[in-house]
Amino acid sequence: MNPTILARLALILLLLSIACESGKKSTFQLPPDLGKGLAPADSLRAILNYLKGQEAYEAETLRFHYMYEYIWTLVRQKPDTLPALTQELRNWAQKSQYPVGQGVAMLGEAVVWRSQGQYDSALSRAQTALRIFQEKERSDYEGKAYNLIGIIHNAQGRYAEALEAYQKALTIRERIGDQQGIANCYNNIGNIHKAQGRYAEALESHQKALTIRERIGDQQGIASSYNNIGNIHKAQGRYAEALESHQKALAIRERIGDQQGVASSYNNIGTIYEGQGRYTEALEAFQKALAIQEHIGDQESIALSYDNIGTLYLAQGLYPIARSYFQKALAIAQSLGLQDQLDDLYLNLAQTDSALAASGKTTSGNPLTSTTASTPPTKTPSSMKTPSANKPS
């Protein structure tokens, strides 16, 4: 089924649930072409701007739904805008007569806390929101809450708890027929299996997500599934299959104008080339990713690209150049509070400084004329990172 039709059906169901809560018959409709053809963030912004000018009860309540989606969209791209957006969401919740609004505001805050690495606060908010949705019998938001709880547990490395939450979200979404949500759950469950090294189960989950996304025509989701399948193949050392999957993801993302996704695909392709010792091609892919990330202002991914480029130079024995890229990445990671990446960067810098001290001189010459490292570091650098490599959804 066409994803636009599915989105409209989901909107109708949401409006009906709102109408039931208010005891009114729903007559409110969004213009069918509103936000069509725009990037996700721009599309959501257009919808929110339209809703601000509407006085209907349904319009006011839909603002919560779309603001939450907007916050999710901006988490990586513009994290500095999130505090103001979540405060606006909370202000609406306090003024609105919409009983679920308070829970949605808490979910928005949980997303922000999670992105900042404050997992206990994020989990507390999400669990409180979950209780509100359960009390109000809002299965759609209950599924969102369980999904977010799973994402938080996953970020903490608590895979058993994450898997339990994802499976609860999946059960709810299957019951209400939320095909998009079902695919997202399979995506997230696949990520857990991969993190645990259970590649066969991970591949099975991502294939299920891909099948659903192809059936409903979710192009962005299809690209994400190919991306994740490629990462599993790479983890297994199956570079040819990995490259094929990532190139499929790249082609879709370029076609639909998903710049953040295009950059992620280039980074993934770069890591495959690096694993094959094709350093010139790897650097070219990383630089393409970096150029896009700088253009769209995706600071977290910029830091990851700097880290990848630094790791590539470190593997080549070009220690001063590697160090300069690690320092650039470190400055961004510190400003954003990216603790996981900070740990990796400190390790990479320590390895680089150790290698510099051991070499006693600066490596010179063309760093990428050979597929063999000139002076390999004493320790293996931390694995190259791929922005949104296993992005939760």
Identity of residue 300: E
What is the model's pLDDT at position 1? 40
| Cβ-proximal residues to 136 (8 Å cutoff; 6+ apart), any chain | 21, 99, 100, 103
pLDDT at 384: 53
pTM of the model: 0.78
Q: What is the pLDDT of residue 6?
A: 46
Reduced DSSP (H G I as helix, E B as strand, rest coil) percent helix, strand, coil of the chain, to 5: 75, 0, 25
Pair 294, 110: CB distance under 8 Å: no
- Token pair recorded at residue 233: 């193949």
Domains assigned to the chain: 19-26+38-71+79-177 (1.25.40.10), 178-257 (1.25.40.10), 269-393 (1.25.40)
Provide Rg for the chain, Cα atoms: 22
The 3-state secondary structure of 311-326, one letter per residue:
HHHHHCCCHHHHHHHH
pLDDT on residue 393? 65
d(CA 242, CA 258): 20
pLDDT for the residue 3: 42
Q: How many CA atoms lie within 13 A of 152 on its CB side?
A: 26
Q: Quote the distance between the C-alpha of residue 252 and its chain's center.
A: 17
Weakly modelled stretches of the chain, pLDDT under 70? 1-28, 57, 76-77, 361-393
Distance CA 14, CA 95 (A): 21
